[in-house]
Amino acid sequence: MNLLDQFFVIVAVALISIAMLRNIKVNSIVSTLWYVLMVVMLARMSSVAYNADTITSAFSIELLGFRMYWKFTALSWFFSIITVVSALASSLFMSGDWGKQYRQQGGNYGLLQLALILNVVSMLILLASGDLLSLFIGWEFVSWASFLMMVLMPSKTAKKAAVKYVIYAIVGAMALLAALAMVYASSGSLDFTQITDAFIQMTDNMKFGFVLLFFIGFAIKMGLLPFHLWQAVAYAETPGPGAAFLGAISSRMGLFTILVVIVQFIGLGNLEEMNIALPYLNMKSLLAWIAALTTIIPTYIALQQHDAKRLLAWHGVGQGGYMLLGIMMYDSIGSAGGLMHVLNHASYQAALFLTVVAVVYRTGTSDLNKLGGLVTQMPLTFLVMLIGIIGLAGLPPMNGFVSKWMVYRSLLVNGEPLLFVAAVLGTLGTILSVYKLIHNTFLGQLRVEHQQVREVPWSMMVPMLGLSVIVFITGFMPGLILPWIASIQETIGLPVVTYHLGGIEYAKGGLDMIWVSGILFYGFGVGALIFYFLGGKAKRIHQYDNYAGGHFLSSEVKYHYSNNFYPGLMHLIGNWYRGSFKWMENVIVSALSFVSKLFENMYRSRQPVMLLVLVAVVALFSIYKNYSGAGS
Amino acid sequence: MNHLILLVVLPLLSAFIIPVVAKHSLTISRLIGPVVLVFILALVVLSWNSVGSNGFAIFLGGFLPPVGIVFYIDHFSLMLSGLIAGMLLIVWPWNSYVAPRQYSLYMLLTAASFGLVLSADLFNLYVFYELLAVATYGLIARQKNPAAAVAALRYLFVSATGSAMLLLGIAIIYTLTGTLNIAHLATMTDQLHGLAGLSAFALIVIGAGVKAEMFLLNTWVPEVYSTIETPLAALLAGLISKLATVLIIRVLLMLFQQSEVLQMLLVVGVFGVISGEMVAWRAKDMLRMLSFSSIAQLGMIFIAFSIAGEVGLWIGLAMMLHHLLVKGGLFLLADKMQGSFDNLRGYAKRSAMAVAIFIIFILSLLGIPPFPGFWIKLMLILNLAEQNNTLYHYAIGFILLATVIEAAYLFKLVRYLFQDEEAATIVSTPKSLTFWYAQIFALVLLVSLAFISPISNRLKDMASQVANPDIYINTILPSHLSGGNP
């Protein structure tokens, strides 16, 4: 039993014990402890992440002439640690008072914990897959585990979203299966290495089909354009901590498989040689553009949302674009930025989701038009959200800045000004909408009905604070993460980044976050000194003592500006929201409906015997034609 | 080993004596059928090991082939016989209000099914096929609702026309060769591969295709399955359709193995899959949905059989067994869950177990790992991809597309099942027996997961036995081996 085997034994025992334990309290504690143990086990395996080793499990299955086996590489380890830590945070969050409230509202707490561990297990199986067949099976496990998580909410929208997700997931799975068939047809085996061989043997047209099939399969999970419609609603409609977990890591499984199949085994160099329209567009730049559009469109859809969970979920879709964009640059800092963004996004996204869930826990709503002013009641939650949105918007000193900076720098260095503009456009939308999020929730005047609201209990506060510490520390010292990134780049054949504790060394301008943060805090410090010691006397005023639009607001006139946020901007870009993708979805459904109506009429035929005779006549005639043709 | 002839004789005999016995004792007449079926099941199980890898032949009436009636028995036909007996025991109408005449019809159906599986000459195949059809008309027409009567009439018209074509095809073959013994025919295939021979084959396929739910010949399916009682639908969809398929496959393998014929089968299969799934997508009630899905599954089986050689055969066999288990189970389950989707709203609250089983079945039907359906679909798709013919590659695309549509409608139904509103009306009173059977089917499906390797090996052995015409010829016509002309 090597470390990986032990790890999987622990994971399996964890799954069984969580499934069996009926006692809610014991279940909560035990499941959290299991995740801690998993983190410890991953730490013991960290040589994988630091030295780019591979651990292969002794366990394998031979079935129908295929051998399935499982292994851990730097890439698997990186995604696994994110998965397990997100699960730990979610599990801890729901273990205390949140879980109590969930049960009181009629939720099945045991099932939620089970869904969480099932998601974790299936993701670990996928991440450890050693060949295409085990990858496909792990892929399907992940799909169905997230489906289980999505159907836990009783609401109608949740079920609708989950069923929509199933259809998208099946489309993806079928695309993958077709790609698998292509690999098998050329080599008779489903090893990863056969992908490369199969690709080389193909004609140009087949290559396009091959790459696109894989890409469609993976892109659907990641919610890349044009497959972005399912994700946000489905994730937002899961029970709180479940949404945090799914939003943090679930859809990144698509990125993992893109990295394994498309980057490692097909090779970005090969994609570059696949010209679509000379000399402007090749396969690699096509994928880069898909990524860039994914950063823009979902982000601006997020801007329109007035439900906090949906707003965040749409950002989750959009941020996926940055990851792929960085990787598609095929250089050391771009891909390092893309990979780092997976971890960074997971940390702040989980923290943000948890803050929203905390607000829902106290106020009962995540509708941004029904909140406001909560900063006085829930200051720590506010702090976590502040840290989270700084990360999401990609501003220093949080970790989101580091990864986004690396992607931007890579875009500029590689001479991609248009992609750069697209990425900046995405960030602009992000900043606007995260401001909307924090303003509508925490700033402005407190609503009367929320005056009794208190800060959330510590069982919920600890995971939120823990995540925000990660957001800050990995932003302050990216060098903690970068060795893992370098190992991944080595494993999957990308140029390797040069790093130090504060950031990266790069010939065309490196980054040292310790300096950046230092100067930032220095600036704040100087400002504070001037403000507090040299300025006049500070006066504390009440939250209600405020003004808006030139009017003073007092405690009699309560006013919080939240509805129709950014009217000026919406006046400019509002016409762009046309729901074209929804329209496309409907077109497909209508076309299908039309064709199936034809078939239905055939089955309802009033003259079945005539139909039968007709078939016989046609069959005999065609045989006759064939024969007289062949005879002459 | 000649006692295996009892498989046909006993049910036939009991079919005739049941009405007579019923005049004296209703209880005994009710027991005859199950007793016979259990006896046959035991017979099949006991003689399993004594059948060698070559199979053996039973010559009736002392006439040696090519004259006289011949039964051919190998592991494949034994397995089908066991399934027939088991399936009939499961759908056996235990209810006391059933008239003894219906028991007779069931026994007639049993005898015909066994005959269809065992017969080794075309004429007997035709006879048993007709017998099967007659028994089925009777069973469908005996249903209490008027819609079933209309459906039975439709079925009668289509099926009778099909039978006539089957007979015409057989007659052409007889005119060409002067024999109807399949083994004998297999020795003179060159005489059959002409215009007349192929036309005869086309007619046979069309005739048998009516019951095999082949595309364009299956217009009776939705009406019948959605109006008759669900256990009978489970029998027809699960088993009888497969027997007709077996007939087509036997004739195809022995007499007409040509790539054009296989491709024709492929095209028909693809149309079946696409049309079945698409119309099932429009269906608004459970039974209709299941019957169209059954059409699609049969199409998939045809696609599997269209792959030349043993591979196609064993995948097709695996699909047949899987479909028998899953669709049979779903129809049995539908006994509890029938009606329009609106009536099934919130069903999960009333019977969580039923919904859980339903989900297991549909996941396997869709081919979601790790369920058995996944491995079968995987093998099918990978082997289609290996064929050197773009037609087969297009078929993959259609299968995958059909799976998406299938997922769409099945999960639309799942959404209804989990909706919170209480059902508008109470659906039919639960019959617990069929529900138990459905549970057993689901259990078998799950247990088979642990035995994928041994099962697939068994099926491969069976397939290599069935796919090899030489074994068949040598067993039935040993004189042919020595070179003598019989």
Which residues fall within 8 angstroms of residue B155, CB to CB, at 6 or more apart?
B136, B137, B140, B220, B223, B224
Provide mean pLDDT across the span A405-414: 91
| Test the A interface: residue of B404, B417, B453, B458 with most A CBs within 10 Å | B404
Please tell me the distance from the alpha carbon of residue B8 to that of residue B117, in angstroms, as a whole number.
Answer: 10
Q: Is residue A248 part of a domain?
A: no
- Residue-number span of the structural domain to which A307 is assigned: 281-577
Judgement on whether residues A510 and A614 belong to the same structural domain of the protein: no
Interface contact B17, partner A, CB < 8 A: no
For A552, phi then psi, to 5°, come to -75, 140
Q: Is residue A134 part of a domain?
A: no
- Judged on CB neighbours under 10 Å (0-12, 13-18, 19+), A535 is exposed
A64 and B456 in contact by Cβ < 8 A? yes
* pLDDT reported for residue B482: 44
Q: Choose among B161, B382, B408: nearest Cβ to A184.
A: B382
- In B, minimum Cα distance to A182 occurs at B385
User: Which residues partner with A62 through β-bridges?
Assistant: A67
pTM comes to 0.90
Backbone φ/ψ region at A60: left (φ over 0), alpha (ψ -120 to 50), beta: beta
Judgement on whether residues A518 and A422 belong to the same structural domain of the protein: yes
Please state which of the ranges A111-125, A533-547, B228-242, B316-330 shows the lowest mean pLDDT.
A533-547
A140 and B381 in contact by Cβ < 8 A? no
Judgement on whether residues A560 and A606 belong to the same structural domain of the protein: no
How many CB atoms are closer than 10 A to CB B98? 14
How many CB atoms are closer than 10 A to CB A168? 23
* pLDDT reported for residue A607: 81
Please tell me the distance from the alpha carbon of residue A540 to that of residue A562, in angstroms, as a whole number.
Answer: 25
Judgement on whether residues A589 and A566 belong to the same structural domain of the protein: no
Give the pLDDT confidence of B117-147 residue by residue, as tens digits. Answer: 888 888 888 888 889 888 888 888 877 788 8
Judgement on whether residues A521 and A407 belong to the same structural domain of the protein: yes
* pLDDT reported for residue A88: 93
* pLDDT reported for residue A548: 67
Q: Is residue A8 part of a domain?
A: no
Give the pLDDT confidence of B400-451 residue by residue, as tens digits. Answer: 999 999 999 999 888 888 876 554 455 544 556 778 888 888 999 899 888 8
| Average confidence score pLDDT of chain A | 88
User: Which residues partner with A504 through β-bridges?
Assistant: A499, A511
Count CA atoms within 13 Å of residue A5 on its CB side: 7
Please tell me the distance from the alpha carbon of residue A504 to that of residue A495, in angstroms, as a whole number.
Answer: 14
Place A375 in a pLDDT band, splitting at 50, 70 and 90: confident
Provide mean pLDDT across the span A71-90: 93
| Average confidence score pLDDT of chain B | 83
Inter-residue contact B185 to B254 (CB < 8 Å): yes
Judgement on whether residues A324 and A410 belong to the same structural domain of the protein: yes
Judgement on whether residues A534 and A609 belong to the same structural domain of the protein: no
A596 and B279 in contact by Cβ < 8 A? yes
Provide mean pLDDT across the span A359-371: 88
Q: Rounded to whole angstroms, what are the CA distances from A412 to A93, A142, A324, A408, A415?
A: 41, 36, 16, 6, 5
Please state which of the ranges A6-20, B171-185, B227-241 shows the lowest mean pLDDT.
B227-241
Q: Is residue A422 part of a domain?
A: yes
User: Residues 344-363, chain B: which have Cβ within 8 Å of A?
Assistant: 363
| Test the A interface: residue of B217, B368, B413 with most A CBs within 10 Å | B368
Inter-residue contact A307 to A157 (CB < 8 Å): no
Place B486 in a pLDDT band, splitting at 50, 70 and 90: very low
- Tell whether the model's pLDDT for residue A269 goes beyond 90: no
* pLDDT reported for residue B231: 79
Interface contact A111, partner B, CB < 8 A: no
Judgement on whether residues A518 and A449 belong to the same structural domain of the protein: yes
Q: Is residue A383 part of a domain?
A: yes
How many folded domains does chain A comprise?
2
Place A27 in a pLDDT band, splitting at 50, 70 and 90: confident
* pLDDT reported for residue B40: 87
* pLDDT reported for residue B479: 65
Backbone φ/ψ region at B216: left (φ over 0), alpha (ψ -120 to 50), beta: left
Judgement on whether residues A564 and A584 belong to the same structural domain of the protein: no
Please tell me the distance from the alpha carbon of residue A416 to that of residue A288, in angstroms, as a whole number.
Answer: 10
Q: Is residue A400 part of a domain?
A: yes
Amino acid residing at A61: I
Q: Is residue A625 part of a domain?
A: yes
Please tell me the distance from the alpha carbon of residue A11 to that of residue A2, in angstroms, as a whole number.
Answer: 14
User: Which residues partner with B71 through β-bridges?
Assistant: B58, B119
Instruction: Please give the structure tokens belonging to residue B291.
Output: 């019957």
Q: Rounded to whole angstroms, what are the CA distances from B323 to A278, A558, B402, B460?
A: 50, 66, 16, 18
Give the pLDDT confidence of A217-237 residue by residue, as tens digits. Answer: 999 999 888 888 888 888 888
Place of tokens 């790890």: A7
Please state which of the ranges A19-33, A570-584, B411-425 shows the lowest mean pLDDT.
B411-425
What single string gives the DSSP state of each residue in A262-326? IIIIIIHHHHHT-EEETTTEEHHHHHHHHHHHHHHHHHHHHHH--BHHHHHHHHHHHHHHHHHHH
* pLDDT reported for residue B147: 82
Place A619 in a pLDDT band, splitting at 50, 70 and 90: confident
- Tell whether the model's pLDDT for residue B63 goes beyond 80: no
Judgement on whether residues A524 and A398 belong to the same structural domain of the protein: yes
- Tell whether the model's pLDDT for residue A175 goes beyond 90: yes
Judgement on whether residues A444 and A585 belong to the same structural domain of the protein: no
Cβ contacts of B377 on chain A, cutoff 8 Å: 177
Place of tokens 């096509």: A286
Domain end marker among A538, A556, A577: A577
Radius of gyration of chain A (CA): 27
Please state which of the ranges B42-51, B387-396, B466-475 shows the lowest mean pLDDT.
B466-475
Q: Is residue A254 part of a domain?
A: no
Give the pLDDT confidence of A337-352 residue by residue, as tens digits. Answer: 999 999 999 999 999 9
Provide mean pLDDT across the span B89-99: 73
Cβ contacts of A154 on chain B, cutoff 8 Å: 420
Amino acid residing at A433: S
Interface contact A192, partner B, CB < 8 A: no
* pLDDT reported for residue A554: 67
Which residues fall within 8 angstroms of residue A330, CB to CB, at 6 or more apart?
A268, A269, A272, A284, A494, A495
Give the pLDDT confidence of B189-248 residue by residue, as tens digits. Answer: 777 777 888 888 888 888 888 888 888 788 888 888 888 877 788 888 878 888 888 888
C-beta contacts of B446-455 below 8 A and 24+ residues apart: B446/B360, B448/B325, B448/B372, B449/B370, B449/B371, B449/B372, B452/A63, B452/A64, B452/B372, B452/B375, B453/A62, B453/A63, B453/A64, B455/B318
How many CB atoms are closer than 10 A to CB A196? 16
Cα(first)–Cα(last) distance of chain B, in Å?
A: 24
Please tell me the distance from the alpha carbon of residue A438 to that of residue A431, in angstroms, as a whole number.
Answer: 11
Judgement on whether residues A441 and A530 belong to the same structural domain of the protein: yes
Q: Choose among A137, A177, A624: nearest Cβ to B370.
A: A137
